[in-house]
Amino acid sequence: SRSIDLAVIPGDGIGQEVVTQGLKVLNAVLPQDVKLETKEYDLGAQRWHRTGETLPDAELEALKGHDAILLGAIGDPSVPSGVLERGLLLKLRFAFDHYVNLRPSKLFPNTASPLAGRPEIDFVVVREGTEGPYTGNGGSLRTGTEHEVATEVSVNTAYGVERVVRDAFARAAGRPRKKLTLVHKNNVLVHAGHLWKNIFDKVAAEYPEVATDYLHVDAATIFFVTQPERFDVIVTDNLFGDILTDLAAAVTGGIGLAASGNINPTGAFPSMFEPVHGTAPDIAGQGKADPTATVLSVALLLRHLGYEAEAVRIEEAVSADLAEREGQAARSTDEIGDALAVRVAS
């Protein structure tokens, strides 16, 4: 019989609330014969305040044993900036070699998009997840003095770029429009830019059926606002992907709907699924958070584990739920979770 062994990291702020709903919908959508086991990990701001730990080796080791990880959100204003991001979230992405950071963007009905009424928007950003300016390379000299010099080094390897570019081409080839756009800034970041462009062009030759395109990151932001329907699959570096996917969320349904997967396509390590939004401390604990992004992340998780039909059921439920949202009173986190659980079960 089939089973899913899931690690759950609720994290901070609204993380716990949205993860609860994600699990509710997961339970509702899974066929009877699939056994779901979950284990919760207490990681995040509270743990750090209590023990000073972000992600101890023993827990990193234990996490490795699961089929996948569901993460809520990490971070709190009470923790110095970077401590949890680098010590926990990015540590997981790097330790588990999550080189494909997958972020779909879709314009759902009745959302807060300033672009409502536009033609269909449905693209996916394949963000590199283990290189670029996220490697932690760099440092500072004469720190805190008027002579300080601080550097950040973006590291890009042929190995790292090629594997994510290949993944993006394969995804593009599998979609109806078969279009892939490389986003970089190769007129300024010439070394990294040329590496990306050369590898992109090389792999493109193996995919004659995929139409390709290149945009500088600054120009890409303009098209996200004025013509988002031109995009199908986008492949880009870690930092540009970070920026573009928040913007993508803003122009489609809002950050409350943006899902993501930190994927290791080889299966060597568990992949991790999380909403793109943060911990939203201002509304935490009030039942106001929209769990939809987490529920959509659960769909990505299911697809990754081979439960395609269940993933589609969740995505259709979200579409239907949003379509009926018009004119409705604001619903609580729990009510949205319940509504989606009912839809996927039926």
Ligand X SMILES: CC(C)[C@H](C(=O)O)[C@@H](O)C(=O)O
Stretch of residues binding ligand X (CB under 6 A), selected from 46-54, 85-93, 140-148, 331-339? 85-93
213 is in an annotated binding site: no
232 near ligand X, judged by CB under 6 A: no
What residues from 237 to 276 belong to the interface with ligand X (CB under 6 A)? 242, 276
The C-alpha atoms of residue 298 and residue 275 are separated, in whole angstroms, by 9
Asked if residue 187 binds ligand X (CB under 6 A), the reply is: yes
Q: Which is nearer to a copy of itself, 22 or 253 (by Cβ)? A: 253
Known catalytic residue: 207?
Answer: no
Q: Edge to edge, what strands does the sheet with 100-106 contain?
A: 35-40, 3-11, 68-73, 271-275, 259-263, 100-106, 122-128, 233-236, 179-184, 211-216
CA distance 156 to 240: 13
User: 24 — phi, psi (to 5°)?
Assistant: -60, -45
Nearer to a copy of itself among residue 86 and residue 178 (C-beta): 86
Establish if 86 lies at the interface with a copy of itself (CB under 8 A). yes
Site for a copy of itself in 279-318 (CB under 8 A): none
Q: Smaller CB distance to ligand X: residue 87 or 265?
A: 87
| Residue 242 in the binding site for a copy of itself (CB under 8 A) | yes
| 250: contact with a copy of itself by CB under 8 A | yes
| The two three-digit tokens of residue 122, written as one number | 């449905």
Q: Within a 10 A sphere around the Cβ of 332, how many other Cβ atoms?
A: 15
Based on the residue annotation, tell me whether 201 is a catalytic residue of this protein: no
Choose the stretch contacting a copy of itself; rule: CB under 8 A; options: 18-26, 136-144, 171-179, 203-211.
136-144
Determine the Cα–Cα distance for residues 242 and 101; give it in Å rounded to an integer: 9
Q: Rule CB under 6 A: say whether 85 interacts with ligand X.
A: yes
Q: How far is the CB of 132 from ligand X (least distance, A)?
A: 10
- Select from 65, 119, 139, 285 the one that contacts a copy of itself (CB under 8 A): 139
67 has catalytic annotation: no
Q: Which is nearer to ligand X, 188 or 323 (CB)?
A: 188
Binder to a copy of itself among 106, 185, 303, 343 (CB under 8 A)?
Answer: 185
- Which residues are CB-contacts of 255 (< 8 A; sequence separation ≥ 6)? 246, 249, 276, 277, 293
8 Å CB contact between 333 and 288: yes
The C-alpha atoms of residue 181 and residue 171 are separated, in whole angstroms, by 12
User: Is residue 242 a known part of a binding site?
Assistant: yes
How many residues sit in the footprint of a copy of itself (CB under 8 A)? 67
Give the bridge partners for 182, in sequence order: 214, 235
104 binds a copy of itself (CB under 8 A): no
Least Å distance, CB 89 to ligand X, is 5
- In degrees, rounded to 5, the angle at the alpha carbon of residue 274 between the alpha carbons of residues 344 and 102 is 95
Give the span between the Cα atoms of 296 and 293, in whole angstroms. Answer: 5
For residues 318 and 302, give the distance between their C-alpha atoms in angstroms, rounded to a whole number. Answer: 15
Work out which of 36, 62, 150, 345 binds a copy of itself, going by CB under 8 A: 150
* Tokens 């060597």, located at residue: 268
Whichever of 85 and 338 has its CB closer to ligand X, that residue is 85
218 known ligand binder:
yes
Q: What value does the CA radius of gyration of the chain take, rounded to a whole number of Å?
A: 20
Counting contacts by CB under 8 A, is residue 162 touching a copy of itself? yes
CB–CB of 153/137 below 8 Å? yes
Identify what 226 binds: a copy of itself, ligand X, none; CB under 5 to 8 Å per kind. a copy of itself
93 annotated as ligand-binding: yes
Q: Determine the 3-state secondary structure of 182 from DSSP.
A: strand
Of 5, 246, 334, 338, which residue is the catalytic one? 246
Among residues 242, 290, 307, 321, which one is catalytic? 242
Per rule CB under 8 A, is residue 81 in the interface with a copy of itself?
yes
Active site residues: 134, 185, 218, 242, 246
Binding residues for Mg(2+): 218, 242, 246
